[in-house]
Structure 1
Amino acid sequence: MRKLTTLTCILLIIGLISFSFIAFSRIKAPDDVKIRLMDNHVVVETPLLLINLTYYGARVVNWIVKDVGVDLAAGVGYTDFLKRYPLWSWIPSEPWPGELCLAKFKVTPRKDHSQLEFRYFKTDEHDRRLAVYRVIKFYPDKYFIDVEEILVNRGKREITIEAYWNKSIGYSISWSTRIESGDVQAWKAGSRIGFGKIWPWTRIYGRVNWAAIYNDGSRVWIGIIPFNQTNSLWLESKSWGEEVRIEFPAITIRPGQEVKYAYRIFGGPLRRELLNEAGFTGLPPDLSLRLRTRYDKYAYREGEEVNLSIELKKLAGEGYNVSIVFIEDESKKVIKRFNEFLHPHEVKLINIRLTAPRREGIHHYTIKIISEGRLFLEEKTWILVVKPRGERLKLVLVWHLHQPIYLNSSGDFESFKLFHHLISDFEYDHERIGIYLLHLKALERIKGIKVTFNIQPCLIYQWLAYLKKHRDDNFSKAIIEIINGLRELAREGRVQLLTSPIYHPLPAILIDLGWRNDLEAQIRMGKQLLEEVFKLNISGLWIPEMAFNKQLVDIMSEVGLRMTILDEREFIGSVRLASGKAPTPYNPYIIRSKNGGEIRVLFRDSQISDMIGFQASSTTDPEESVRELLYRLFKIYKEHPKGVVTLALDGENPFILGSVEARYLLQKLYEAVIEQKDWIETITLEEAVRNATDVIIDIGEGSWAGGFDIWMEGTVKEKMWNELKRVRKMLVEYTKSIGGEISPIPRLDPE
């Protein structure tokens, strides 16, 4: 018994020592995470990673993957003299990059030395107080970190976090970097996985599972996995590198309320098992595969022959055998199967011929790339079948061309954008051209298209001022070409020109400020200038930012302007018709004022207009973007075969700030409309409103931005408006004292 007791004690002691050793090892495990605090940055080292974070914005300066020898952070360039360090947070109610990106945080290691807490207290001129905490968890055996961003309202007023340009977007976190040449963006949004180099940008709405940047050559991957509900994903590529940005929904934080955003950042080797462990799910076996589908038409008729081609490209790695399978989704039937050997850097072109289904609508197909029984790539595609109804859908295309006044009081131009947009925005079909002349040449090349242009009067004024001093250079020749070309197209009835208040003020704001006479004078000046230059009657008004107030009806009527366009999203909900019917954006309307004023109006389709302006502009495949546009028009056609669809948007930025391929959108769109002319046709604004009968008896005030805060709110803007009010008051008082005319209409004579 004593021996047993002694043995038991020995075993117990050994057990306690072993348990203590194990427990001690577990407590000490975080020592594999070493944290060194410096003056303005903190260095964190694990067996796998070396991460250097600056106190300013809690941004990453270096992210070195030790076993690969690659820094995933150091290569990023500059924007506006700000180095775009990866990992930055943004409250998008502030102009980019926002206070948090530049503010100096305080840093404290947590107790177990595997966590860092960055904190910053933000206040504004309205005594709103926001505490911002970023808590980062490091692991000794992982290539990822876990981050919590905690926002606490420490003040007594609500704090709303929303983008001033898009009220659905709230707090945002981003990773910007350049690894080396050949970087690729990757993302999973819902069930969709995408790969590419999105130049310059795009926004994908909805659930964002993850977003990343990787490089096949270096075999490294850096990405973000959000754990909160998301609003959208922003993808951008510029000369400084690539960006992926997770945008959470807009939110209002009550006093005392705390909001948490959690996400994971992986930066390490491009190995599927590591990425799957971190949470980057759904990745194909070969990330170097690219597939693109081409069709011989944008839409088909029932039973028509369909010719499509599949372009399959392998960017890197070893070659292997694949089966390319084309499947009809509804029947699950395999339409075609091809066997090929894929060589690196080779492009395979597979041609398929089939018959369009004898049923109107969209028909879905799946393309599968299979190797040795494994699914390597799967892409969805579709064809649209349209049955013309005798009537044609009316499409009103309105392009807004605007540049502010760059001509100073000395007669010098402070910017030459208004000339570069004529001749030198980009290469197009082996010639240098600007977007303004591209609009003209597209109409000259593709007959049968009608377009409505708003060429802002102050843009025309500056062109005329240039012609006063120059006649034989490239700029002056281009000015003469576009003025003469548009004048001729207007005479042919293929183009309608709209005017604007000459200096592009927002009419509703001037009316609300009591400066109606100033607004009327500017509208008269703009109308007069365009009529003299183009030798025709101007009957329509482009309202800057679609900032409408009902008093504008009387002003337009008095000036002789009879028609305009308003934003469907902002205004259609406030419309009340005399007939009592529910309004639709696909009919023209008459707005009558109590004073007898009358104008005619179309409502632009906000969704499709924004699709062209903000999504299709980032396309890498303009034909596919136009197919998507036609599908959206087809859905309207089914419900409103006699309807009028108005697309009204910026005619410059979608093509010059978009991807390289975006410049071809204009031509592809016009070609598609001509190809599908048995169910769709383009008309001008004037033609569209000519037969309007429904009368609007009430409509709200607003703009296509949803209101006026973007132009009115904020310390700097409020100061500028107050200064403008003060100067205008002085000018009015002086004018009265000398017996002058308030809000005169001077004759414009460019010098």
Structure 2
Amino acid sequence: MIYITTDKPLYRAGDSAAIRVKVSNEEDRGITVNARITASLNNDRLVSREERISLLRGETKVIETQVDLPGPGVLMANADVDYDGKSTTDSVRAYVLDGGKRIRLALVYHMHQPPWYLPNGAYYMDWAFRYVSDNLLSPFFDGGPYLFHAKLNEKYGEVKINVNLSPSLLHQWVDAVERGYALMDGHVYGVDSIQVKRVGEALDLFRSQAKRGQVEVLTSLYAHTIAGYLAATHGMVDVIDEEVKAGIDVTKNVIGIDPVGVWTPEMAWDMSLLGIYTAAGLHYTVLCGRNHFPGSVGDKGSIYEPYDVDGFTVFFRDQRLSDVLAFENNLFDERHADRMARRILMEAARADGEDPLVVIALDGENFIAMSKTPGLVAAEMNALYSYLDLLQRDGVLSTIRLSEASSAKRRLTFIPTTSWLGGFSKWRGERPEHEQYWIKAIDSYRSIVGAEAALGRRLGTARYALWHAVDSDFWWSDFWSGYMIDEWLRRVREEVANSMSGVRASLEREVIETLANRETSVGIRISNETGAPVRLDVVCCRDAATHVVGPGESVIRVTILPSVAGEYRIPVILSSKGYGYRILYQLLLVRAFP
């Protein structure tokens, strides 16, 4: 029946505000209403206006009035409508800022899909494509959230945005554009399908937006690896390092830019990431104001400024405000969508300081696609960008690329190991399968490290498979995907087994007869068909030594000293870096006397 709003949610002292009241006739007949509009600033009345309006059935009319804003404070506007003994009311707020405050707003979207393809190239899930092409945002927009973001950027070309297009997402987009894609259920989408053409359209838009400087594209680890957890708990710094480099390569090759920012998946931070990021030429990341900042150590002000950490810049997001956009996303109607957009900007204006940097960081697709009302969330985003466009022109607020604000005055010496959730239980602990699967994953990692040390070369294909297996999306307790983990861990084991298949071992003698307390030699035949020297650790009882075995046939000898007569099966273990690849059992017949 009635809706009141102002032309902007934020003003400066001395501005004028346009108050608009929309009155609609929802009766099945014509009516005449008495409308009253009032506005106050800090409870001081600025305007009071009454008007009598006749409305035909289904008709809507708009009443508008101007009000001058002499000083800072809270503008409150109210509208009351009476007709036929009925009444309805609505109200809206806006903030009036003093002349000195200027808000810098960094919108950071993490747009990601895990590598949904299987080792054979077929796709287990097609969210990377459906979130581009499917009509998920009807009736506001025909398409998915990724395409919506790209089109919204085009519509509001002066609004600067920061976007992490995750490397695994970009890889899947390029894969589809170049060859189409096939699902494991048999559905095939060719390069000329509407699904693939829309993916190409979204990709081209993001490329052009990055090239002209409107959008700053952050890179990331190739897959969505829980970097801080893997580094702190399992020492997998090498995996993180290579995934960061691979992610940078994808971003460079697909988007055509040299990324300076890095999104830390799940905001899973550990201080060991610092050296990896800086060595790769990256300059900044975004962490959580609620879960990382309180435990940080150093010259701390507020979350509304950047921090230097040994030459690397860390921004802290406003989690409360980010969560408003991310999770308060089930909307009633377009009026609610508009009020939510206003709320976000008004909350941002309350940040401490004269020149606060407010970082809103969240998943770029899920808050839209997983809403019960995705079309209305799209309407909310459109309203938000429309206000941003107006406020930038007025000089009240500026949207920024994070690289423009990476010069920090304060320094931190430590940021705690944790995630955006304040821990890692979502990925280890909440499901009974977690522990079993982490044992398998770490065992697979150790098998790679050991085989590489033995062979003297990197097992790139095995490592590539491991990146996929430890993608956090597959481990997330609410969307657990043991199938995908198993598929990629199986590929790891196959690749390691194949790499070590050229190294075979057998016992020189099946049975050895000896005496108690006599040193006895055990021979192990090694057949090395790898074409290069192999380094092996051989352990038998108390005899443990490292041997370098050249190509061809060799015999390694170990010495044992049986102390008690009897029949024994003595294990002989061939290992590397503590990981056993072969185990042989020497049958030993020990006599007490000759």
TM-score normalized with structure 1 length: 0.55
Alignment of 1:568-717 (within 5 A): 568-577=289-298, 580=299, 582-592=300-310, 598-616=311-329, 618=331, 620=333, 621=335, 622-636=337-351, 639-658=352-371, 659=373, 660-677=375-392, 678-689=395-406, 691-714=407-430, 715-717=432-434
Partner of 2:71: 359
Residue 449 to residue 354, structure 1, CA distance change in 2 (3 Å): closer
Is the contact made by 2:19 and 2:77 (CA closer than 8 Å) also made in structure 1? no
Residue 587 to residue 430, structure 1, CA distance change in 2 (3 Å): closer
Is the contact made by 2:16 and 2:69 (CA closer than 8 Å) also made in structure 1? no
Alignment partner of 1:446 is 2:156: yes
**Aligned residue type for 2:103:** L
Distance 1:398 1:430 in 2: 23
Partner of 2:222: 502
Residue 360 to residue 428, structure 1, CA distance change in 2 (3 Å): farther
Residue 707 to residue 436, structure 1, CA distance change in 2 (3 Å): same
Residue 661 to residue 539, structure 1, CA distance change in 2 (3 Å): same
Distance 1:733 1:367 in 2: 74
Is the contact made by 1:571 and 1:702 (CA closer than 8 Å) also made in structure 2? yes
Residue 306 to residue 474, structure 1, CA distance change in 2 (3 Å): same
3-state SS of 1:352 partner: strand
Partner of 1:548: 269
Is the contact made by 1:617 and 1:654 (CA closer than 8 Å) also made in structure 2? no
Distance 1:657 1:348 in 2: 33
Displacement of 1:640: 1.9
Is there any run of 5+ residues in structure 2 with no aligned partner, and where? 181-190, 466-594
Displacement of 1:626: 2.0
**Aligned residue type for 2:203:** I
Is there any run of 5+ residues in structure 1 with no aligned partner, and where? 1-289, 593-597
Distance 1:342 1:479 in 2: 47
**Aligned residue type for 1:443:** N
Distance 2:21 2:252 in 1: 51
3-state SS of 2:209 partner: helix
Alignment of 1:202-351 (within 5 A): 290-302=1-13, 304-313=15-24, 323-328=34-39, 330-331=43-44, 335-339=48-52, 346=58, 348-351=60-63
Residue 363 to residue 468, structure 1, CA distance change in 2 (3 Å): closer
Distance 1:700 1:480 in 2: 40
Displacement of 1:466: 2.0
Displacement of 1:379: 2.9
More divergent stretch after superposition (531-540 vs 306-315): 306-315
Distance 1:614 1:430 in 2: 20
Is the contact made by 1:396 and 1:451 (CA closer than 8 Å) also made in structure 2? yes
Is the contact made by 2:4 and 2:90 (CA closer than 8 Å) also made in structure 1? no
> Which residue, 469, 473, 484 being the options, matches 2:179?
469
Distance 1:414 1:461 in 2: 15
Distance 2:164 2:78 in 1: 43
Residue 384 to residue 744, structure 1, CA distance change in 2 (3 Å): same
3-state SS of 2:10 partner: coil
Residue 320 to residue 429, structure 1, CA distance change in 2 (3 Å): closer
Residue 384 to residue 716, structure 1, CA distance change in 2 (3 Å): same
Residue 328 to residue 430, structure 1, CA distance change in 2 (3 Å): closer
Distance 2:128 2:285 in 1: 25
Partner of 1:404: 114
**Aligned residue type for 1:475:** Q
Is the contact made by 1:303 and 1:355 (CA closer than 8 Å) also made in structure 2? no
- Say which one has the larger Rg: 2
| CA deviation profile, 1:69-120 (whole Å, cap 9, x unmatched) | xxxxxxxxxxxxxxxxxxxxxxxxxxxxxxxxxxxxxxxxxxxxxxxxxxxx
3-state SS of 1:537 partner: coil
Residue 306 to residue 535, structure 1, CA distance change in 2 (3 Å): closer
**Aligned residue type for 1:357:** L
3-state SS of 1:618 partner: coil
Displacement of 1:723: 2.9
Distance 1:366 1:649 in 2: 34
Distance 1:487 1:319 in 2: 53
**Aligned residue type for 2:305:** N
**Aligned residue type for 1:723:** K
Partner of 1:728: 445
| CA deviation profile, 1:240-299 (whole Å, cap 9, x unmatched) | xxxxxxxxxxxxxxxxxxxxxxxxxxxxxxxxxxxxxxxxxxxxxxxxxx4322333343
Distance 2:458 2:370 in 1: 43
The higher-RCO structure (CA 8 Å, 6+ apart) is: 2
| CA deviation profile, 1:682-740 (whole Å, cap 9, x unmatched) | 11111110x22321112212111121112211313223223323333344445545444
Partner of 2:569: none
| CA deviation profile, 1:588-646 (whole Å, cap 9, x unmatched) | 11112xxxxx411111111211111112563633322222222122222xx42222111
Is the contact made by 1:336 and 1:352 (CA closer than 8 Å) also made in structure 2? no
Partner of 2:167: 457
Is the contact made by 2:147 and 2:202 (CA closer than 8 Å) also made in structure 1? yes
Is the contact made by 2:13 and 2:99 (CA closer than 8 Å) also made in structure 1? no
| CA deviation profile, 1:402-427 (whole Å, cap 9, x unmatched) | 11121112322222221122222435
3-state SS of 1:710 partner: coil
Distance 2:330 2:410 in 1: 35
Alignment of 1:63-78 (within 5 A): none
Partner of 1:145: none
Residue 465 to residue 331, structure 1, CA distance change in 2 (3 Å): closer
Distance 1:739 1:701 in 2: 33
Alignment partner of 1:564 is 2:285: yes
Is the contact made by 1:300 and 1:356 (CA closer than 8 Å) also made in structure 2? no
Displacement of 1:441: 2.0
Distance 2:309 2:74 in 1: 38
Is the contact made by 1:301 and 1:386 (CA closer than 8 Å) also made in structure 2? yes
Is the contact made by 1:517 and 1:743 (CA closer than 8 Å) also made in structure 2? no
Partner of 2:205: 485
Partner of 1:193: none
Residue 303 to residue 575, structure 1, CA distance change in 2 (3 Å): same
More divergent stretch after superposition (357-366 vs 537-546): 357-366
Is the contact made by 2:448 and 2:459 (CA closer than 8 Å) also made in structure 1? no
- Taking only aligned residues, the RMSD between alpha carbons, in angstroms, comes to 3.0
Residue 304 to residue 684, structure 1, CA distance change in 2 (3 Å): closer
Distance 2:198 2:175 in 1: 14
Is the contact made by 2:227 and 2:269 (CA closer than 8 Å) also made in structure 1? yes
| CA deviation profile, 1:286-333 (whole Å, cap 9, x unmatched) | xxxx43223333434445444333334566799987543333452468
Distance 1:608 1:354 in 2: 30
Distance 1:386 1:429 in 2: 36
Distance 2:343 2:414 in 1: 35
Is the contact made by 2:12 and 2:96 (CA closer than 8 Å) also made in structure 1? yes
Residue 450 to residue 318, structure 1, CA distance change in 2 (3 Å): closer
Residue 408 to residue 628, structure 1, CA distance change in 2 (3 Å): same
3-state SS of 2:305 partner: coil
